[in-house]
Structure 1
Amino acid sequence: MKPFLAFLLVLSWASQVLGRAVFAHFMVGNTEHYSKSDWVDDIKLAQDAHIDAFALNMAKGEPMNAKAIADAFSNAEELGFKLFFSFDYAGRGPYAKDEVITWINKYAPSSAYFRHQGRPLVSTFEGPDNAEDWHEIKAVTGCFFVPDWSSLGAGPAVRAAGGVADGLFSWAGWPWGAQDMDTYVDASYIEALNGKPYMMPVSPWFYTNLPGYSKNWLWRGDHLWYDRWIQVNTLMPEFVQIISWNDYGESHHIGPVRDHALVAFEKGSGNAPYMYSLDHHGWRNNKATVTFEGVSFWYRPVPKRACGTGGTTGNTVSQLQMEFQPYDIIDDSVFFTVLATQSVKVTVTIGGVQSPGVLRDVPDGGVGLYHGSAPFNGRTGDVKITVWRNGILIADEPGPAINGNCRDGMMGFDAWAGGGLLSKASRPLNTPSLEDDVCIRGTGANEFDEICRTTCSLGYCPQTACVCRATGALGKLPTEVPGEVFPAEGLNSNYIGLCNVACLYGFCFPKYCGKTQYPLIEPTVSPFNPPSCTSGSGEGDWALLCNFACRHGFCPIARCKCTSQGPLSLLNPTRQVKVVSRIGEDHGLCAFACSRGLCPKQACNSGNSEEQTEPPPPQVEMPHLDKDCYIFPECVDLDNPQASSCRGGYSRVSFDRSPCSGDYGRPICCKQSIQPLQCTWRGSGGDCNGQCHSEEVNLFQSKKGGDPGESGGTCSRGSKAFCCRLSTYKDLTSQCYWSKCGETCTSDETLLARASQLGGKCSLIKRQNHYCCKGNPLPLSNCHWVGQNYCADNTCNNKEVTVILDQGGEDGTLCNWWRKKSLCCTPEEAAFGNSGQCPAPYCTSPTEEYCGPDEWASDEPYEDCDDDDDDCGHDELRRDVIADPQGFSLAVVAFEDTSFQLLAGKKERRRPFNPRLVDLLNLIVTFEILAREYPGPSTLNQQPGASDSIFQKAAGCDNPDILVTKRDPKTTNEQLGAYADTEHHPDLQFAPRFLEFLASGNLPNGLQSPLSKIDANVIKKYWQNEFPKGTFPKTGRSRGILTPSDYFFDQFGSKGNRAPLTICEKKLNGMKGNIFAFNEPAARKDMTEWRAGALKGIVNDQNNYFERISRAIAVFLYLNHPDVLPTIQDNRENLFAAARFLATLIVEFASLEALLKLFDDAWYTEAARLTHDWVEEMLNDIQNELAPLVLSGRAPANMASINTMIANLKARLGDIKAPPRKPRKPRKP
C-alpha cells in the first residue's frame, strides 16, 4: 500500500516531539467474515502508519463480538499491537453495566490492551443516559474513562454524573457547509476539561447514503485531512482518534477495502448510489522519519453536477444543521499534499490537458508539507499528477479517470485517494520542532475573522476565539504602541486579549477596540457556532411541520425552506414515539415534531388507533377547459405515438383532421387531472352549424373535426364544434332553476336570465320564464343569449358554459332553419366556497372583532418604583407631603402635581378587576384589584428571556393549526400592535375568578370544592394589604411588590417579569379570552345566521361560520403548542409557589395552594369541555340541516366545501384538550 504523507509528517511530529497517542476507530461489526490474515494485515498496516491502537467500536449483542474480540486480542498480542474498547451505546441500544465490566475485566489484563497511566483506557460512542453506571464500572475495573458524549456538548459532558469521565472524546470531526474545518468545538472541550485529557477526532472525508439506516449526507472533505492534522499540531491534545479505519458506509476509512467486510451496504442498500467503497490507501502512511519525498492526492472521480444528487444533502438535519445542496459545499478539484525539502511545482493532467496546481499552504522554512489543488475546469479523462523540485521529478502518479458515469443516474460522493513516497530525499532534513513554533496564520468566525487574521500573524491566536491555520517561526514584530485598551461598546470578553495584542502592535480596529471602557456584554450563545435555521416554511401539507421544525433547527431542504438563521433554539424531545408520514417521504419531520409534542394527524401517523382519520371528502375543483386543454398547431401522424404524444401530465381526448390529409391530424390534449372528459364533435351535414348542448363548453371549431363526432363529413358552410361536458355543472347549478311561466324569483334568489317561453309552452297571459339562482357569489355570471336571424352565431365561447338551447331565446324571435339560440354563462368557481377563499386569520382593520388596541398594554419606558423608595406604592403619602406647609413653594406644588399625574397615569395603565365575593352571611363583598403593568408586543422582547415569537392561527377556515413567526425587527410598534397582543397565561381574569372561588367554593365546572372556603372579608382584608419592603420574593426584574395581589398578579407577567408572557395574534387571543370567560366561543345568534346563509350558498357566511369553529379549536392547539406549553406549565408552577408562600405568610391562607390546584385543574378542563361540546354541536347542526337539502336535490353549490370543512374539523375535536401540568420528575431511588 502507498502512504499518505500528510499523516507521515504530522504523526512524526506528534510521536517524536510531543509523544501524543494516535488511535483509529475500528468497526468490529464489519469483521464477521474476517480471517486471521485480515487481522494480521490490518494490524501491520496500522503499525506501519504509527497508529498506537485500534479503538474497537462494538455494539451490544452483535453475533460476531465474542469471536472477533478474541481474534483481535490474540493477533495483537502476537504482533505487539494495542487495542481498547469503545462501547457503542447508539447502534443497538445501551449496555448493561455488568456486561461492560465483564468485557473490560476479561481483556484488560492482556498485553495488547492499551493503558494510560497504568489504567486500561475505555471509550464509548454516545451513552450519556447511562453515565451513572460508570461510577461502579470504574470502581470495579480501574479503567481510565474517555467517552464520546458529543450529543451533550463539552460542558454538560464534563459535568455528567458528577464528572465521572476522566477525559472526553469528541465526534465533531467534519466542517459545516462550505467552510473548511475549524477548532472551536475542540477548544470548547479543552477549556471545559480544564486539564483532563482530550481525545481529538481526525477524519479524511464523510459521505454516506444508506437508506436502511436513514443516512444520506455529505460533509465537506476537500482540504479536511491536511487541515485537521495541522490543527492537531496547534492544539496538541493528549489523544488523537482517526475516524475511521474501516467504517466503509461513511466513506472515511483509511484501511484497505475488503469485499467481505462491506456489511453496512447489505442493509436496505437497494437505493444506494454506491455499493462499494473507493480505495483510500492514500490516507495512510508507513514512515516515521522524513527521508523520502512524494505526493498524496485525492478527488471525486465524478464531477459534482454530473448526475442527480439522489437526495444527498450537504450537512444533515439529523444533527440540527442547516442543509445545503451537496454541490454547493464541495469543489471539483484534485487536492494534493506534497512532502518536499524545497519549494515544488505541481502539474495536474486530466484527459491529456495540463493545469498548474495552486498551492494554498507552504511550510515555514521550505521543508515540509505543500498543500493545494487544481480544479477540473470541465475536464474529464485519466488523471496524472506530476511534482518537480528544482527540476528534479519527485512524483509522477496516475489516478482513475474522471467521468460522468453514475449508478442509476445518481451521484456517489466518495473520493479516491492515492500517492506515495516515491523519491528519496537527497539528504534527510529535520522538520521544525512544534515546541519552537508559533501560529503565523489564522482566521476567525464571523466578526472575529478580521482581528484574528491580524493577531494570529503576530503569533497570538487564542484557541477559544481564533483558528490557527499554519505554524512556524515568529517573524519580526512591529514597533509596540503602549497604552490601555478595551473591547468596543457591546462586545464581550473574547476581545480582551485580541485588542491588547492588536493595539499593542498598531492594529487597533475602532469597531473592535478603543480607549473607553464599556461594560462587557457576554453572549448567551457562543458567537463561534455556525448558524442554525430559526424559521422556515413549506408547501401545502408540509407547512405546519416545516414552520415548527425549522424554528428549532430541523429544516430538511427536501421539504422545507429555511427563511432565517441565527442561534439554535434547542427543543429537546418530551416523549418517545414511533411515527410514519401519511403524506410521503418526510425526511424525519414527523419523528422530530411528534417527539416534541406537535403531531398533526393529517400528516403523521403515530400508530395510535384513536388517532386514525378518514380522508375528508374532496372539494369540488372547477375545470378551466379553456386552459386545461390544447390542440396541436400542426398536423402529425396520428399513428406515430412519438409524434402525436401529449406533453407531460396531459393525454389525448380527440383530434381534428382539418386541414390535414391521410392519417394525419391535430391531437387534442387535456390535463389528466380533469379526466375522464365527455367530449364530442358536434355538427353534421353540409351546413354543419355545430352547437354545444346544455352543460357543455365549446373548445375548438373545425370544418372536418374527428372522433368521436356526429358526422365524419366536411362542412360546406359553418363549422363543427368540439364540445366537452363541464363535470361540475350540476354541483354548480344545484340551486338554480327555470321558473314556471309568468313566475318570478323569490327574495333570496337572483334573476340571471329570461326566456320568452321555453319550448313555446307559455300562454299569452303568462309569458316568460326566469332563471333563478341562490348563492353569494352566484354560480354563474354574465348570462346572455346568442343567435340572431339565421342563428349561425349561436355558439358560446370557450370560457362559457351552455345553459340551455331554445329557438326563441329571450325576445321570442325564432331562428330560421329550426336552429336554436344558446344561453351562455360564465361559471364562477368561487361559488363552491373552497377553503382557499377564506379571509386572513389575522386583523386587517381595527374595526374587526377583537382587533382594537389593547388599552392596558404600555410600550413606554416606565418601570415600577424601587423597593428602596419609601413612597413606593403610597399615593396617599405623596398627598400628605403636599399638605405639610413647611418648605412650601410653587415649585414644589408644580413638581408634586406632576407626580400626581404620573401616579394617576400609572394606575390607569393597570387593568382593574372587581371580584364579587360572597361572605359567610351571604352578603356581597367587592373590592378592586389591579393587574401588573405589562409591555405591549413590540417591546416585550426587550428583556432577557422574553419571547420574540408571534403565534397565530394558520390560514384556512377549516385549519386550526398554529404557526409561529419570529418578530421582524423592522416592524414598527404600531404595525405589530395592530395585529398582535401581549398574552397572559392563564388569562388575567383567572385571578378575580379564583378569589370568588375561595369565598364560594364553587369550581368552574359547577362542582363544590371539598376543601374549606376562606371568608370573603378575610380575603379582602389581606389581599390588598401592604407588607414591609422585601417581604415578597422577587420575580424577574419586578419591583415595588408590597401586596399579595401584586405578588400573585406578577406571576402572570409584567414589565419587570416578562418570561410568562407571549405574543399572540389578536383574533386568537380574543377567542381565548371569550372561552376562558366561560362564554360560548362565538355568539349563538351570529352562528345561526351564518349557518343559514352558508346553506343558501353564501360563501362569506360559510367562511365566518367555520372560521369561528376553527379558531376555537386553535385556542387549545395554541395552549398545547410545544413552544407555548412550557411557559404555561412554568407559570402554573410559579402560581402554586406563590400560593405556597402566601400560605406561610398569612395563617388564614393555609389552604391556598391546595385550593389553587383544585381551581387551576377545573379552570382548564372545564373550558376545554365546553369548547369541545360547542364545536361538536355547531358541526352537527350544519351537517343535519344540509342533509335534507341534499336529499331533495336543493343542495347549495358549496355543499362539497361544507362537507369537507365538517370532516376536517370533526377530525380535530381531539385537539381540544386542557394543557397538562409540568410532569413531576421521578424521585431518585
Structure 2
Amino acid sequence: MWLSNQADAVPTSIQGKFVAAHWMVSGVAVDYKEHIQLAQANGVDAFALNFGGWNLDTYREIWLKSIADIFAAAQSLNSNFRLFFSFDLTSALTRQEVLDLCIKYGAHPNHLWYQNKMFLSTFEGANAPFNWDTDIKAVLAASGLPVYFVPMFNQWQAPAPNTYPFVDGLFRWTNPSLGFANDIQVDADYAALRPATGKTWMAGVAPWFFTHYNSKNWGNPEDDQIFFDKWERLLELKPDFIELVTWNDHGESSYLGPVEGVIEDQTWARLPHDALLDLSSYYHTAFKTGSKPAITEEKAYYFYRTHSLNAKATNDPLGLPEEMKMQKDHIFVITMLASAATVVIKSGSKTYDPISVPAGVHKIGVPFQLGTQTVTVHRGNTQVMSGTCATPISDNIQLYNGNIVADMMTAKGGQVVVPDTTASPTTSTAPDTTAPTRPSTTSKTPITSDSCPNQDRYERKDCRKGDKQSCEAANCCWSPLEEGSGEPWCYLKPAVVTPGCPYQDRYERKNCYKGDKQSCEAANCCWSPLEEGSGDPWCYIKP
C-alpha cells in the first residue's frame, strides 16, 4: 500500500502524447475501477481531477475521500493509468488546499509525471489569490515535487508570447460560444505559440454542451461541429496533449463516460453518450500515432436531440436557451467504413433517399421527424448494418432538453443497444442501492479469454472492442454471442470473488452480514469487495 509520506521515489514519467479526460470530483459513489478500465479500454491515459473550493465546509471530507478512493482504485488495478489535479479557480480555493493535495498525492505511483515533473493543471486561475510561481511551484519543488505546470488561463483567446513565463505549457478548454470557425482559430493561435515560446499545448475537445439551471441556462451553438469537426481539425494542428472535457460533467452534458451518478436535478443528463466515447477512441489512436488507423471493423454512429426547437415545454420557467436556436433539427450520422456504401435514414415516418458515403470517417445529416430513428448502411444489395435507437424524438415535453442521445452499430455484431434512460434514470445524491430491472435468465456462455469467469450476458459491462485481439489487449473479456445480439461480446472483467463462488451482480446479492473476508468465508458465504463507501454487500450468501 502506498503511503503519502513515501516520497523516496517518484513515478515514471509518461512518454510522448497522451489523452486525459476531465473528471469532476464529487461525493457520489461510483465504481472507480470500472470507470478506469473503461477509459483505458478506449485509449484514455489519465483523469484530470477537477477539484474546487465550493462548500468545502460541508463537503470537504466527502470530496477528499473520493480523491483517495480513485487513487486507490488506480493503484489496485496494477495499471499505468494516471491521475493529476486540475484545480478549479472559479471557486474560492486556497493556496494551502492546492499544496496539501499536491504534497499528499504528487509522488503516488499513479500520479501523472511528465519530463520528470509532477503534471499540474487548472480550470481558470490566471487571477488566483496567490502566486503560482512562488507560492505553489517553488514550494512544491522544495518538497521534492518539481511541477510541470499546464494551466487553463484563457479559453477565449491565446495569450501574447511569454505572458506567463512560469508555465511549462498551456491548456485551452474549448468555447463553443465563439462559433466553430472562431473557436478553432483560437486553437490554431495556441498551436502557433509553441515555436515562439517553446511551451507545450494541451487542447480540449467536448462531445456536447447543455445546462439548464437558474444560474446558467445555455446550449451548444456549434451543434454537430463541436466533436467530429473539432477532432478532425485538431489532428491537423497536432497538440502535444488532449484533454476530453469531460468524462462525467453531467450538469453541462459534456460527459463521455457512463450515465452514472447523475444527481436528481440534472433531468437533462440522462441520455447516453457511450457511442461518442467509442468514436473518440478512434481519434485517440490517430492523435497518439500520428495517422488514422486502418478501419478493421465498420461502424456507424448517430446522434440527435430528443425534441425539436418548435416544442413547447409545459412546465419550464427557464425557457429554451438562446444558443439552441442556432442548432439544426437534424439527426447526424458518422460512418466509419472500409469502403464506400450508402446510408438510409428513417426518421419518424419519413424515409430519406439513400445517401452515398465514402470510405473512411464521414459525417452526414438530415432534418429529423418526430418518432423513432433508424439508420441502415447498405453496400449494393447487401445490408451491412442497421440500428434503431430506443429513445424517440417527441415534442410532448414538460422541460426543455438540449442534450443529445448517441447510438452506434457495428457491421460485425449488429446494433449496440443503448437503452432509453429518460424514463427511469440512475440519479443519486448518495450511493444508489436500488436494484435495476434486468431480463430474467440463467443462461451462461463459455468464454474464450482464459482469465475470465463466466458472466451472464445481461450483467456485462461493455468494453466496446470489436474483435478478440483488441478486446484482450484492453484487458477485457471476449465471449461471442449470436449474430445481431445487443449484448456486448467484449466486456470488462468482473470482480474476483471467493473460490467456489459464482460471480453475482452487486444488486442481486443477499447480505451475509459479515464484515471481513475471514468471517465471511467461515460462514460459507462469498466475499467480493466493492468500492469504498458502496452500500451493497461485500459479503453475500452463495447464490
Query: Normalising to structure 2: TM-score of the pair?
Result: 0.63
Hey, what's the Cα distance between the residues in 2 that align with 1:204 and 1:66?
28
From 220, 223, 240, the counterpart of 1:221: 223
Q: CA deviation at 1:345?
A: 0.5
Letter in 2 for 1:257: V
Matching residue of 2:134: 135
CA gap 1:423/1:120 in 2 versus in 1, 3 angstroms: same
| 8 Å contact from structure 2 (residues 344, 355) kept in 1 | no
Aligned 1:120-519 pairs, distance under 5 A? 120-130=118-128, 132-139=131-138, 140=140, 141-150=145-154, 153-155=157-159, 158-160=162-164, 163-174=165-176, 176-177=178-179, 182-193=183-194, 194=196, 195-211=198-214, 213-258=215-260, 261-263=261-263, 266=265, 274-285=267-278, 290-307=295-312, 310-315=318-323, 326-327=324-325, 329-356=326-353, 358=355, 367-376=359-368, 379-399=369-389, 400-407=391-398, 410-423=399-412
Secondary structure of 1:249 counterpart: helix
Letter in 1 for 2:69: D
| 8 Å contact from structure 1 (residues 28, 65) kept in 2 | yes
CA gap 1:180/1:351 in 2 versus in 1, 3 angstroms: farther
| 8 Å contact from structure 2 (residues 306, 401) kept in 1 | no
Number of residue pairs matched?
Answer: 369
Hey, what's the Cα distance between the residues in 1 that align with 2:33 and 2:329?
37
| Residues 1109-1149 of structure 1: per-residue CA shift (max 9 Å, x gap) | xxxxxxxxxxxxxxxxxxxxxxxxxxxxxxxxxxxxxxxxx
CA gap 1:424/1:257 in 2 versus in 1, 3 angstroms: closer
Matching residue of 1:46: 39
CA gap 1:240/1:419 in 2 versus in 1, 3 angstroms: same
Hey, what's the Cα distance between the residues in 2 that align with 1:239 and 1:357?
39
More helix by share: 1
Aligned 1:658-807 pairs, distance under 5 A? none
Hey, what's the Cα distance between the residues in 2 that align with 1:152 and 1:374?
31
Letter in 2 for 1:134: D
Aligned 1:495-574 pairs, distance under 5 A? none
Q: CA deviation at 1:171?
A: 2.0
Aligned 1:719-1118 pairs, distance under 5 A? none
Secondary structure of 1:347 counterpart: strand
Hey, what's the Cα distance between the residues in 1 that align with 2:333 and 2:29?
33
CA gap 1:115/1:27 in 2 versus in 1, 3 angstroms: same
Q: CA deviation at 1:390?
A: 4.1
CA gap 1:20/1:173 in 2 versus in 1, 3 angstroms: farther
Q: CA deviation at 1:404?
A: 0.8
Q: CA deviation at 1:123?
A: 0.4
From 105, 128, 144, the counterpart of 2:103: 105
Q: CA deviation at 1:125?
A: 0.8
| 8 Å contact from structure 1 (residues 357, 372) kept in 2 | no
Hey, what's the Cα distance between the residues in 2 that align with 1:19 and 1:340?
29
CA gap 1:182/1:356 in 2 versus in 1, 3 angstroms: farther
Which structure 1 residue ranges, 5 or more long, are not aligned?
A: 1-17, 316-325, 426-1229
Which structure 2 residue ranges, 5 or more long, are not aligned?
A: 1-14, 286-292, 415-543
The sequence identity of aligned pairs, in percent, is: 28
Letter in 1 for 2:105: Y
Q: CA deviation at 1:186?
A: 0.8
| 8 Å contact from structure 1 (residues 216, 311) kept in 2 | no
From 21, 24, 27, the counterpart of 1:27: 24
Secondary structure of 2:137 counterpart: helix
| Residues 932-960 of structure 1: per-residue CA shift (max 9 Å, x gap) | xxxxxxxxxxxxxxxxxxxxxxxxxxxxx
Matching residue of 1:88: 88
Hey, what's the Cα distance between the residues in 2 that align with 1:146 and 1:336?
35
| Residues 217-276 of structure 1: per-residue CA shift (max 9 Å, x gap) | 443322321101101110000011111111011111111111xx223x54xx7xxxx354
Letter in 2 for 1:240: I
CA gap 1:158/1:337 in 2 versus in 1, 3 angstroms: farther
Letter in 1 for 2:136: I
Hey, what's the Cα distance between the residues in 2 that align with 1:48 and 1:148?
27
Q: CA deviation at 1:135?
A: 3.3
Aligned 1:1209-1220 pairs, distance under 5 A? none
Q: CA deviation at 1:204?
A: 1.2
Hey, what's the Cα distance between the residues in 2 that align with 1:411 and 1:49?
32
Hey, what's the Cα distance between the residues in 2 that align with 1:181 and 1:334?
24
From 115, 118, 122, the counterpart of 1:117: 115
Letter in 2 for 1:86: S
| 8 Å contact from structure 2 (residues 268, 401) kept in 1 | no
- Residues 331-340 or 282-291, more deviating: 282-291
Hey, what's the Cα distance between the residues in 2 that align with 1:222 and 1:180?
13
| 8 Å contact from structure 2 (residues 174, 204) kept in 1 | yes
Letter in 1 for 2:85: F
Q: CA deviation at 1:126?
A: 0.8
**What's the C-alpha RMSD, in Å, of the aligned pairs?**
2.6
Whose RCO is larger (CA < 8 A, sep 6+)?
Answer: 2
Letter in 1 for 2:319: G
From 65, 77, 93, the counterpart of 1:67: 65
CA gap 1:398/1:158 in 2 versus in 1, 3 angstroms: farther
Matching residue of 1:675: none
Hey, what's the Cα distance between the residues in 2 that align with 1:114 and 1:56?
11
Letter in 2 for 1:203: A
| 8 Å contact from structure 1 (residues 135, 164) kept in 2 | no
CA gap 1:181/1:414 in 2 versus in 1, 3 angstroms: farther
Hey, what's the Cα distance between the residues in 1 that align with 2:238 and 2:190?
13
Hey, what's the Cα distance between the residues in 1 that align with 2:151 and 2:239?
15
Hey, what's the Cα distance between the residues in 2 that align with 1:420 and 1:350?
17
Secondary structure of 1:73 counterpart: helix
Hey, what's the Cα distance between the residues in 2 that align with 1:158 and 1:336?
43
| 8 Å contact from structure 2 (residues 218, 322) kept in 1 | no
| 8 Å contact from structure 1 (residues 293, 424) kept in 2 | no
| Residues 1141-1160 of structure 1: per-residue CA shift (max 9 Å, x gap) | xxxxxxxxxxxxxxxxxxxx
Hey, what's the Cα distance between the residues in 1 that align with 2:183 and 2:125?
26
Q: CA deviation at 1:371?
A: 1.3
CA gap 1:357/1:233 in 2 versus in 1, 3 angstroms: farther
| 8 Å contact from structure 1 (residues 181, 228) kept in 2 | no
Hey, what's the Cα distance between the residues in 2 that align with 1:421 and 1:134?
50
| 8 Å contact from structure 1 (residues 297, 418) kept in 2 | yes
Hey, what's the Cα distance between the residues in 1 that align with 2:97 and 2:147?
15
Rg comparison, structure with higher value: 1
Query: Normalising to structure 1: TM-score of the pair?
Result: 0.29
| Residues 730-786 of structure 1: per-residue CA shift (max 9 Å, x gap) | xxxxxxxxxxxxxxxxxxxxxxxxxxxxxxxxxxxxxxxxxxxxxxxxxxxxxxxxx
| Residues 957-978 of structure 1: per-residue CA shift (max 9 Å, x gap) | xxxxxxxxxxxxxxxxxxxxxx
Q: CA deviation at 1:216?
A: 3.5
Q: CA deviation at 1:412?
A: 1.3
Letter in 2 for 1:43: I
